[in-house]
Amino acid sequence: MQYGDLTEAQIAEFISAQSYSVREPSLVVWIEGFGDPTEYVMEIDSEVALEFPRGRGCLNIGRAILVVNNENGFFYSNGESKIEKNARMKVWAGLNNLNIPIFTGVVHSVEPAGTTDMVVLNCKDYMGLFQEILIQGSQDPNNTARLLIESFCNMVSIPEPNIASTDETTSTYTQPTFEEGSILKALEEVCNSIFYTAYFDEDGELTAVEREHSTLVDYQFADNNVTDCENLVDTEIINDITIEYRENFFSKYEDQASIDTYGRQSRSDRTLLLSSILVSDKTTGSTTEELNYDLEASKFTSAPDAGIIDCLHIKMKKDDAHGYITAKIYSDSGGAPNSLLATSQLKASDSLSTDFAWEIFYFTEPVEISPATDYWMAIDAGSLSSGAVYVQISKADAVAKHAHYDAGSWTTEDNKQILHRIRGGIYAQRVAEDTVRFYSRPHERIRITAPSAPQLQLLDEVMVNIDLKQRQGRYVIEGRRHIITPENYTTIDTLRKV
């Protein structure tokens, strides 16, 4: 909760005024170039939220609509606005002339309201400025989420954002680059890469926090201070997610308990901003090798900074093949495959190309590995029912880097290496786990209409105890709307149960 610049005594008076049966709504408006035009304001309707109606991953642009008296053409005359486009503005509101900030932004447009002397000021918060300016290309040296978001604010000349220095916000991206698009789109990509959300508060400060963040406050919606409470659709369920963090490289995570309860609810995201580690690759060579054994493997040494494997590519093709194949990772012992560490998801051999192509194998859970250590990547073709599968190999000088399993033991071969690309995306794995943890079960959502609680903020965690609607528990505010007229002040909150 926030009380602006009110003193402790004024805060106590403000809280007391909220319990009165007869209230006197009050407001103050400031517009750049006009000073205080409050006397002209007839009605205000403002709304902010964490997410745009399109849902997850789409940041919301706050908006405010001010209906004002345009007598003598004060705001609009001869078909033209007298307010410059994107002039800064701010609204304070409250009760009995005890006002606190509720909205900061810019005037986007001014429109006449029919044939009356009224005009409408369409305003949006500073997120709207992010939508208007394009960004493209490398952002170095701004190579962390925190630095990128700070640079976005600098581009539109607004105050520095409120972002805590955490592992997520200070982890380094490798050459962060954006395709041409708005700053808003870039901000969404940054937030999605670390499972954060971002919004502008009532003072126009950009706040970026973890999506599941909430602030516990001492406030309760109850039967005596609520006009209406309606049920909304529960939050979506995601219990199986695949994140593409580099072209055709994926990290995957799922929650089996949620899948068992709600069925598999799959999603795919593409977040190429994320950094990853190239664990091993061998990409040159054109010799064709048929998979004559159920298991054939290539030895590789993990990169000095490698920690996981979640996806690998193998250059292969089919010839009328039917059945399934998998990729496997083995530890090394004495120069031969030893313990099986992981098996990829099944791949239907029917889906393989008839020409050599990079085929993708990814693991439901990442394979934990040690840096600068020998491992084996194997292809299991034991489930093929007919036809043949071929891989491309390099015949460059290589001692005992190829092996096949036959008659209960491994046999190594020289001058053979299966063409492969192996990566690990620890940051993609982290955001995949965060996403599934947050969305693995549905959360109840409600909308509460009340006779003004202007001090509440997005992500405030409040108590709800509405017996008439049988709604009890703690809820987080994810959307706020203020409707102010000379007679009434109403707030409408959208809340998610925690």
**What mean pLDDT comes out for the span 26-38?**
96
Kindly state whether residues 107 and 78 are assigned to the same domain: yes
Kindly state whether residues 291 and 383 are assigned to the same domain: yes
Q: What is the pLDDT of residue 203?
A: 96
**476 in a structural domain:** yes
**290 in a structural domain:** yes
Kindly state whether residues 318 and 405 are assigned to the same domain: yes
Residues 261, 443: Cα–Cα separation, whole Å = 14
Cβ atoms of residues 27 and 91 within 8 Å = yes
Residues forming a β-bridge with 482? 46, 491
Average pLDDT across the chain, whole number: 94
Q: What is the pLDDT of residue 21?
A: 73
Kindly state whether residues 392 and 264 are assigned to the same domain: no
Closest by alpha carbon to 301, among 397, 414, 401? Answer: 401
Within 10 Å of residue 7's Cβ, how many Cβ atoms? Answer: 9
Confidence grade of residue 319 (pLDDT, cut at 50, 70, 90):
very high
Tens of pLDDT along 76-97?
998 899 999 999 999 999 999 9
Closest by alpha carbon to 213, among 164, 150, 152, 149? Answer: 164
DSSP 31-62: ETTTB--GGGEEEEEEEEESB-TT-TT-B---
Closest by alpha carbon to 90, among 33, 38, 31, 40? Answer: 31
User: Does residue 396 surpass a pLDDT of 90?
Assistant: no
Q: What is the pairing mode between strands 162-163 and 118-124? A: unpaired
Distance of CA 253 to the CA centre of its chain: 16
Cβ atoms of residues 413 and 398 within 8 Å = no
**178 in a structural domain:** yes
| CATH code where residue 197 lies | 3.55.50.10
User: Does residue 323 surpass a pLDDT of 90?
Assistant: yes
Within 10 Å of residue 487's Cβ, how many Cβ atoms? Answer: 8
Kindly state whether residues 387 and 337 are assigned to the same domain: yes
Position 285: which residue type? G
Kindly state whether residues 397 and 303 are assigned to the same domain: yes
Cβ atoms of residues 367 and 329 within 8 Å = yes
**What mean pLDDT comes out for the span 349-370?**
94
Kindly state whether residues 206 and 156 are assigned to the same domain: yes
**What mean pLDDT comes out for the span 185-192?**
96
Tens of pLDDT along 248-268?
999 999 999 999 999 999 999
- Owning domain of residue 267: 240-273+429-439
Kindly state whether residues 351 and 231 are assigned to the same domain: no
Confidence grade of residue 109 (pLDDT, cut at 50, 70, 90):
very high
Kindly state whether residues 382 and 311 are assigned to the same domain: yes
| CATH code where residue 473 lies | 2.30.300.10
**95 in a structural domain:** yes
**What mean pLDDT comes out for the span 160-187?**
94
Kindly state whether residues 366 and 337 are assigned to the same domain: yes
Confidence grade of residue 410 (pLDDT, cut at 50, 70, 90):
very high
Kindly state whether residues 351 and 487 are assigned to the same domain: no
Q: What is the pLDDT of residue 23?
A: 80
Last residue of a domain, one of 371, 396, 424: 424
Residues 284, 300: Cα–Cα separation, whole Å = 15
**2 in a structural domain:** no
Kindly state whether residues 305 and 173 are assigned to the same domain: no
Q: What is the pLDDT of residue 446?
A: 96
Last residue of a domain, one of 210, 227, 259: 210
Q: What is the pLDDT of residue 148?
A: 97
**1 in a structural domain:** no
Residues forming a β-bridge with 252? 242
Q: What is the pLDDT of residue 55?
A: 75
Last residue of a domain, one of 165, 194, 210: 210
Q: What is the pLDDT of residue 19?
A: 82
Tens of pLDDT along 120-153?
999 999 999 999 999 999 999 999 999 999 999 9
Cis check: omega of the bond before 141, within 30 degrees of 0: yes
**3 in a structural domain:** no
Overall number of domains in the chain: 4
Confidence grade of residue 216 (pLDDT, cut at 50, 70, 90):
very high
Cβ atoms of residues 314 and 282 within 8 Å = no
Residues 154, 412: Cα–Cα separation, whole Å = 59
Q: What is the pairing mode between strands 206-210 and 162-163? A: parallel
Q: Which two tokens stand for residue 428?
A: 């993609």
Residues forming a β-bridge with 368? 308
DSSP 457-490: -TTEEEEEEEGGGTEEEEEEEEEEEEEE-SS-EE
Confidence grade of residue 353 (pLDDT, cut at 50, 70, 90):
very high
DSSP 235-296: PP---EEEEEEETTEEEEEE-HHHHHHH---EEEEE-TTS--EEEEEE----EEEE--SSEE
